[in-house]
Structure 1
Amino acid sequence: MTALWMGIALLGFVTGTFAQGAPPSPVTATTRIEPHSATIGDTVTYTVAVTHAPNFKINPPSPFPHFEKFEFLDQGEKTKQLPDGNVTDEFIFQFRAMEVGYYNIPEVPVHFTAPHPDDPSRSIPGEIQAPKAVVEVRSVLFKDGDPKDIRDIKPIVGAAPPWRRYALYALAGLVGLMFLYFIGRKFFAKPPHRERKPTPVVREPHEVALEELDALAAKQLIEQERCREHHFELSEIFRRYLGALYSVPALDWTTEEIMQNLLMRKNFPEELGQRALEILHRTDWVKFANEESEASVCMENVQAIRRFVEDTVPRRDLSTSHKSPSAAM
């Protein structure tokens, strides 16, 4: 009887049609898009959540064709175990809003494989459609609402006094006063003492990075078991440091794009590139992990970044004032 029920259910969600009153599908999909109303430059998160039996295998969906007007930033996955024994897989995609418009995101197919009702050792393919979603991208000029303070033209009034003549008299008097002022300043006034403006202090990238690491440690996020939140800030500190040190948009690029750019440079140390790649992967793993990481892992990543910054500090020779080979290129 169980095999017959599963056969009917599998046939229903593979073909996309269910008879009225049939048992619910063993695979369901929902979509979520946040925020629903964004402005140019905002990050839009599109999530597809698929709930299924634990012996089903879900393939990640591909919503990219429907986000052509957006810039792809990142993606990740999360798995949740439900009290009824089912499993929910969440596929998270992050995009940056680039063009104003009202976007209807159509249904996105989600492919999966399920055990055969008659022979569990075999599997059969299936497909389910993730529901539609809507997002509106507005201009930053109207972020606080459309302007409502435009007033109509005032009614016509009677003839005014000859203000133009008065304005000419006032302008002539002002010109005469200015002429007298400049004559008196030229012959009688002492030249003002010019104060020397202080030269602005330019801070080195390593100074900024080490200060940001100290500020992050002062928040005590690791002690509060908020390792994922800690690693989002830690990753941005490290990416800002790489961007300032090597002149690359590290905050906007993926890990692979950053390393491809650095490794293509002449005389870039391979050992330094491997360390940077390992740090980027480790911080990304903690950011998108399903569970909070241990405090020891968080501390190791902090120390790894601090050592990387200290090892890439420009070394200056006191006699020649040139950077050493270990400095950033």
Structure 2
Amino acid sequence: MLNQLRLIRVVSILSSSPRSINIAAPSISINKLPSNIRPTRSQLLMGSSSYTTSSHSSKLLFRQLFEKESSTYTYLLADVSHPDKPALLVDPVDKTADRDFALVKELGLKLIYAINTHVHADHVTGTGLIKTKDPSVKSVISKSSNAKADLFVEPGDKIYFGDLFLEVRATPGHTVGCVTYVTGEGPDQPQPRMAFTGDALLIRGCGRTDFQVSCLVEVQRCFTSLCIHRQDTNKFIFTLPKDTFVYPAHDYKGFTVSTVGEEMVYNPRLTKDLETFKGIMENLKLAYPKMMDMAVPANMVCGLQDVDGIAKAC
């Protein structure tokens, strides 16, 4: 049964470094390729357009896709150097699940994961619908979200697709279960790195923090999960290299990509001290999300459903 699947945690007993967890599908083998096979900076920038092609001489195929009603970005990543061309989707939306799945097939990819950065309040995830089209696809979400999924990730885990991987970083605040997925560090991984931040870090902003039981606590968690430099760098986005690309789950002004360096300088909220940040977040006076009452309950279960029950659940 899908709900009985467990992550296989691979912990090296020969190293004191953070644990490395491979949740790649068992059929996907790891084949090392020359370190010089990677996308260029310009290729990654071009990938910010929904259907701009990436060079197939590069390991990483990348697409940024948009759902206009909720202004949501969905991201498609694949290791096209691998024989199986394994792929994953980050933050799929139900309304565009058909489009995204068709694109995967057109590009000859094998979709192995549909992952969410958090339990969304403004749209229903497309993960469940995608699983009806291909039940072998595994749904992924953070363990701390308390939602259902095939696989649960925690900070420090690595999600492999072919020879490439995403590292999981905890970025709570918008919700308790928010995580950011960051492309891997190493000579055989794409450079510059890419951070898929969900609603935690937006371009020149950040996600609202009034969804939690204690708003004040979550405001502080949001700030520290993004900004504060400590030894536990797994938690903090601003400890990534400054040229790391920032790809959020939403944008409402037409921006498609930023960098860690830009946000450290120009983000009007996160360039402030903690007390000023608290004041900003406590006085946003944002309207109640119109989709929240439907989206949140659906998203708590849509990461994992049986095929027959998915229509009712979503």
Question: TM-score by structure 2 length?
Answer: 0.24
Q: Give the structure with higher Rg (CA).
A: 1
Question: Quick check: which one's helix share is greater?
Answer: 1
Higher RCO (CA-CA < 8 Å; seq separation 6+): 2
